[in-house]
């Protein structure tokens, strides 16, 4: 049993325990009372070798991809990754090993992403005030007898009758990512928080300082823009119409 394992340089926990990277050392650990960055653990007998250098090598691409999908910005994704590894290193004593290291790091990263999204949302309230107003009337008859109905050549195209097969395509994720990146920042933020992070609506409204009505309208516009973008980039615009 190793008692003095706190602090010190990278990999010290590993060195003290005398194990190789990725292995598990037998160390008695009592987790703290306020585990903000913890994996909700209690008392246990073992913990993995914690080393930010190895985290970067082993999970760097994965964490970067997770951040990039949600932030659509290379610098912001790298910042989130760096902040995550720093936060993980500072709170390493809270890692109880009840979840995998990867799950623990992704959990911390997601909190960093929410912080970045909140900042981004608040920094650009005037950048795209229409929040997709331009798309609100796109594809519909603007006036006359059929006002508000789809114009046949501009209405939704046929995407195929096998959604499961479509969802299995890796290219769909790539296209979705491109389309998310093309959304106004405020729309992509609410979409990511609600649809991808599964954050409750009331939490989103509180974090972003918006009303539920605003949220639903922005989600509607985000979906409408995404649908149009996917149709143009993935399904080739006129396909199946």
Partner 1 sequence: MDIKQRIIVWLAQYVAPCQVIAHRLSTELESKPGWRERLSTRMHLSICVWCRRYKHQLALIKSAAQLAASDQASDSPPLHRLPDESKDRIRRALRDAEQ
Name the nearest CA neighbour of 226 among 191, 200, 198, 185: 191
Q: How is residue 239 written in tokens?
A: 């396909």
- The length of the chain in residues reads 241
How far apart CA 69 and CA 21 sit, in angstroms, is 29
**191 near partner 1, rule: CB under 8 A:** yes
Q: What is the DSSP string of 64-130?
A: HHHHHHHH--HHHHHHHHHHHHHHHHHTGGG--SSS-HHHHHHHHHHHHHHHHHHHHHHH-TTTSTT
Contact window for partner 1 (CB under 8 A) among 26-34, 37-45, 70-78, 114-122: 70-78
The least distance separating partner 1 from the CB of residue 45, rounded to whole angstroms, comes to: 26
**73 near partner 1, rule: CB under 8 A:** no
Contact window for partner 1 (CB under 8 A) among 20-28, 62-70, 114-122, 126-134: 62-70
List the x/- string, 170-189, binding to partner 1 by CB under 8 A.
Answer: x-xxx-xx------------
Q: How is residue 16 written in tokens?
A: 């003290």
Single out the residue of 15, 44, 46, 52 in contact with partner 1 (rule: CB under 8 A): 52
Considering only residues 115 to 134 of the shown chain, the ones binding partner 1 according to CB under 8 A are: none
How far apart CA 28 and CA 157 sit, in angstroms, is 60
Taking the least distance from each CB to partner 1, the nearer of 24 and 103 is: 103
Please count the residues of this chain forming the interface with partner 1, following the rule CB under 8 A.
62
Taking the least distance from each CB to partner 1, the nearer of 15 and 62 is: 62
CB neighbourhood size of 40 (10 A):
12
Considering only residues 201 to 240 of the shown chain, the ones binding partner 1 according to CB under 8 A are: 201, 216, 219-220, 223-224, 226-227, 230-231
How far apart CA 138 and CA 133 sit, in angstroms, is 9
Contact window for partner 1 (CB under 8 A) among 25-33, 34-42, 119-127, 193-201: 193-201
The number of C-alpha atoms within 13 Å of 178 and in the hemisphere containing its C-beta is: 13
Q: How is residue 110 written in tokens?
A: 């997601």
**106 near partner 1, rule: CB under 8 A:** yes
Provide the binding-site residues for partner 1, judged by CB under 8 A: 9-10, 52-53, 56, 60-62, 64-66, 68-70, 74, 78, 81-82, 85-86, 89, 102, 106, 136-137, 140, 145-150, 152, 155-159, 163, 166-167, 170, 172-174, 176-177, 191, 195-198, 201, 216, 219-220, 223-224, 226-227, 230-231
């Amino acid at each position: 049993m190793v008692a003095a394992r706190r602090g010190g340089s990278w990999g010290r926990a590993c060195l003290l325990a005398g194990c190789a990277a990725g292995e598990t050392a037998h160390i008695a650990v009592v987790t703290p009372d306020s585990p903000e960055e913890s994996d909700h653990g209690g008392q246990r007998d073992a913990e993995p070798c914690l080393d930010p250098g190895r985290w970067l090598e082993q999970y760097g691409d994965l964490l970067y991809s997770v951040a990039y999908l949600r932030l659509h910005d290379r610098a912001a994704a790298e910042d989130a990754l760096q902040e995550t590894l720093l936060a993980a290193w500072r709170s390493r004593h809270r890692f109880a090993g009840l979840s995998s290291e990867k799950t623990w790091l992704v959990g911390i990263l997601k909190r960093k992403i929410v912080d970045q999204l909140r900042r981004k949302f608040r920094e650009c309230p005037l950048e795209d005030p229409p929040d997709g107003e331009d798309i609100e009337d796109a594809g519909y008859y603007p006036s006359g007898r059929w006002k508000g109905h789809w114009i046949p050549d501009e209405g939704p195209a046929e995407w195929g009758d096998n959604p499961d097969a479509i969802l299995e395509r890796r290219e769909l994720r790539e296209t979705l990512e491109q389309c998310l990146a093309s959304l106004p920042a405020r729309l992509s933020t609410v979409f990511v928080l609600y649809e991808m992070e599964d954050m409750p609506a009331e939490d989103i409204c509180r974090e972003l300082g918006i009303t539920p009505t605003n949220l639903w309208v922005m989600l509607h516009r985000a979906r409408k823009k995404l649908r149009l973008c996917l149709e143009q980039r993935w399904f080739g615009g006129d396909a199946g119409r």
